Amino acid sequence: MSEFINVVDIFGENVFNDTVMQARLPKKVYRKLHEVIEEGQELDLETADVIAHEMKEWAIEKGATHYSHWFQPLTGVTAEKHDAFITAPMSSGKVLMSFSGRELIKGEPDASSFPSGGLRATFEARGYTAWDCTSPAFVRQDAAGATLCIPTAFCSYTGEALDQKTPLLRSMEAINDQSLRLLRLFGNTTSKRVTPQVGPEQEYFIVDRDKYLKRKDLIFTGRTLFGAMPPKGQEMDDHYFGAIRERIAAYMHDVNLELWRLGVSAKTQHNEVAPAQHELAPIYAKCNVAVDHNQLMMETLKKVAGRHGLQCLLHEKPFAGVNGSGKHNNWSLTTDDGINLLDPGETPHENVQFLLVLTCILKAIDRHSALMRASAADVGNDHRLGANEAPPAILSVYLGDQLGDVLNQLIRTGVATHSIEGEMLETGVKSIPDFMKDATDRNRTSPFAFTGNKFEFRMLGSQDSVAQPNVVLNTIVAEAFAEACEVLEQADDFELAVHDLIKKYAVDHQRIVFNGNGYSDEWKEEAKRRGLLNILSMVDAIPAYIAPESVAAFEKFGVFTKTELESRVEIEYEIYAKTINIEARAMINIASKQIIPAAVRSTAEIADSLSKVKNACQEADVSVQTELLTEMSALLAETKRALAKLWEAADGGSAMSGGREQAVYYRDVVKTAMDVLRSPVDRLEMIVDKELWPMPSYGDLIFEV
């Protein structure tokens, strides 16, 4: 048994949070920082100096020797550069530990080593990290000792965003301004701030680390590039919500402790659909904090796995043939005084403000569905979206029975007069109390589903940052709010105008609402009739960033300039081509150096046995050996041919100069060549002696953790 730990005692112990600041900072400084955090005021250097000093003292008490600006460049992972607190030795030969306000608020990593999508060519290589004081600093303890990590935004010398954080903070400003504007129209004079709240549910796979280390494909690409299906997959549904095995439970316990210490409110954990697949969800938090915490969660899941002899796979599709991993982005808008703009109340048909918010969101999603799709695109996610897996690549909104009905009333008659109510759930068992059902069931197939008092965007990939989807969501909803406000602020009769506007939005954007089965082929047909997009690959999703309506929305609120968007598009194409290139090269490597030699050895063994048996007994039936030898040799030859083709294809790709053309080539030519190579190899795996096969099988990996 592990030692007893009281969660309340350890929660947030490594975070420079509000309680710590209140206790340690002089009153005046604490108040000033609060104004900065809550009202977006500027931080002066004098105040920053005091905060930096206290932060350093606190961190040193936790054992920290270094500090680091912790930021999220466009590589998909976090970046950090560690600096020790020590100053130059004094004449006495001793050093002091120091940390100034300037060091706290501004860092200067070399921007030239991070993706900039052409921004670098036109501007200086210099880049700055700037403290995001709305996300608390924390001390991270690991093998490297302890480090004070300061969440920061990362910009170029001329202020272009080079990271995920900067546009996210800008989009939060936009949604704040426009939400307040809308609330004021409804007579709310008291709310001071509206913040998007986000709760990302994280899926992941866990495999044994020793087995992982025998799979070069997992090591280099995060997913298996070869692998025959095991006799059993997920068809029995016996893993989902199943009892958690001891080894995994011990790992989860450790992950939770680590996250709680970092102030990440890890809450819900369970087994997922596929064998070896699990999920962890935190309690929702302010959008930018949630984005940071999701990064910490991914880092922690990986780091702690190593201590348990396990390996955490965050890739969207580590194994073909079983479910992949995604991330559900739960999103709502709440005021500083506790109002959730997405709460319909008991009788949504009477809640005019809610109906306006809801129909604005429908409008935003309908107009920007391609952009939403693009925000969830990453290379690994192409194996899920549009590939017969949850959810479909067509964006639609699930409202459920109750809201769907209210919307229909609005569309049909222009007024909504009633709301379907929840009923009693009768179990028929006396000892189980009956309880009220929700007015609405759930729909697991919808990419964007209303779930009670929030929307759940379910298209995200498991290893992707959740920043981009939230940047898009905040911005497009801000745009819809702004447009509604422009109409309503001019209206003579507010009641009448708001009613007309809700009806107009409901009618104009009803095509985006779909409550049925998103996996069905009928839906694909129906969606096409409705004119909804079905964008099957990342390469085709990327251009949405620079579509005129996207540029207009982003520029309207200063979230992205057109130049920044163009640079992001370049980076996305580059990431796509590079990722597929690495996968292709890994396949070439594994097939040449491991699989072909193993199969050759296997054929030699069979040939050997064949001649030995024949020598020993002329009449013996060697048809099995003969057949195996024929089949294996044929597959071997097929493998070699496919390998040569893939090599040629990959070389062709490497010779190209980048951009869309190269990405399209990798998708259409290189990926196809990869599939052609995989096929004979997976068939070989089924007939080659397991002892000779050079790597653990799917069965070994996902059933024997």
- Give the Cα separation of 37 and 171 in Å (integer): 16
Q: How many residues bind Mg ion (CB under 5 A)?
A: 1
Q: List phi, psi (to 5°) of 266.
A: -55, 125
Per-residue contact track with Mg ion, 22 to 61, x per CB under 5 A? ----------------------------------------
Residue ranges of E strands in 266-340: 266-271, 277-282, 285-286, 310-313, 326-335
Nearest distance in Å: CB 456, Mg ion:
6
Residue 432 binding target from Mg ion, ligand ADP, none, CB below 5 to 8 Å by type: none
Residue ranges of E strands in 209-309: 266-271, 277-282, 285-286
Residue 453 binding target from Mg ion, ligand ADP, none, CB below 5 to 8 Å by type: ligand ADP
Among 226, 284, 554, 560, binds ligand ADP (CB under 6 A): 284
Residue 268 binding target from Mg ion, ligand ADP, none, CB below 5 to 8 Å by type: ligand ADP
Q: Does 332 bind ligand ADP (CB under 6 A)?
A: yes
Residue 197 binding target from ligand ADP, Mg ion, none, CB below 5 to 8 Å by type: ligand ADP
The CA–CA distances, whole Å, from 279 to 236, 300, 307, 372, 438 equal 19, 14, 19, 23, 24
- Which of 443/465 has CB closer to Mg ion? 443
Whether 137 and 150 have beta carbons less than 8 Å apart is answered as yes
- Which of 364/684 has CB closer to ligand ADP? 364
Per-residue contact track with ligand ADP, 204 to 223, x per CB under 6 A? --------------------
Nearest to 199 by CA among 469, 409, 500: 469
Among 268, 413, 520, 672, binds ligand ADP (CB under 6 A): 268
- Give the Cα separation of 272 and 460 in Å (integer): 16
Binding range to ligand ADP, per CB under 6 A, among 46-54, 108-116, 124-132, 192-200: 192-200
Using CB positions, name the residue nearest to ligand ADP: 199
Q: Does 453 bind ligand ADP (CB under 6 A)?
A: yes
- Give the Cα separation of 96 and 456 in Å (integer): 50
- Give the Cα separation of 581 and 589 in Å (integer): 12
Nearest distance in Å: CB 351, ligand ADP:
16
Q: Does 181 bind Mg ion (CB under 5 A)?
A: no
Nearest to 180 by CA among 195, 170, 167, 199: 195
Nearest distance in Å: CB 451, ligand ADP:
6
Nearest distance in Å: CB 200, ligand ADP:
7
Per-residue contact track with Mg ion, 312 to 351, x per CB under 5 A? ----------------x-----------------------
Nearest distance in Å: CB 197, ligand ADP:
4
Q: For tokens 């206790």, what's the residue?
A: 23
Q: Does 197 bind ligand ADP (CB under 6 A)?
A: yes
How many C-beta atoms surround the C-beta of residue 522 within 10 A?
9
- Give the Cα separation of 606 and 560 in Å (integer): 63
- Which of 176/537 has CB closer to ligand ADP? 176
Q: Does 454 bind Mg ion (CB under 5 A)?
A: no
429 phi-psi bin (left φ>0, alpha ψ -120 to 50, beta other): beta
- Give the Cα separation of 640 and 68 in Å (integer): 49
Q: Does 115 bind ligand ADP (CB under 6 A)?
A: no
Nearest distance in Å: CB 336, ligand ADP:
15
- Which of 442/614 has CB closer to ligand ADP? 442
- Which of 237/619 has CB closer to ligand ADP? 237
Cβ within 8 Å of residue 263, ≥6 positions away: 11, 12, 14, 15, 17, 136, 138, 293
Residue 281 binding target from Mg ion, ligand ADP, none, CB below 5 to 8 Å by type: ligand ADP
Q: Does 335 bind ligand ADP (CB under 6 A)?
A: no
Nearest distance in Å: CB 202, Mg ion:
11
Name the token pair of 81. 């550069």
Peptide bond preceding 391: is omega within 30 degrees of 0, i.e. cis? yes
Using CB positions, name the residue nearest to Mg ion: 328
Name the token pair of 410. 């609005």
Among 149, 281, 305, 535, binds ligand ADP (CB under 6 A): 281
Q: Does 283 bind ligand ADP (CB under 6 A)?
A: yes
Q: Which residues of 606-626 are buried (b: 16+ CB within 10 A; e: fewer)?
A: bbeebeeeeeeeeeeebeebe
Among 152, 156, 171, 330, binds ligand ADP (CB under 6 A): 330
- Give the Cα separation of 633 and 623 in Å (integer): 15
Residues paired with residue 67 on neighbouring β-strands, in sequence order: 83, 148
Q: Does 667 bind Mg ion (CB under 5 A)?
A: no
Nearest to 185 by CA among 497, 407, 439, 443: 497
Nearest distance in Å: CB 540, ligand ADP:
29
The residues binding Mg ion (CB under 5 A) are 328
Chain positions contacting ligand ADP, by CB under 6 A:
197-199, 201, 268, 281-284, 330-332, 340, 451, 453-454
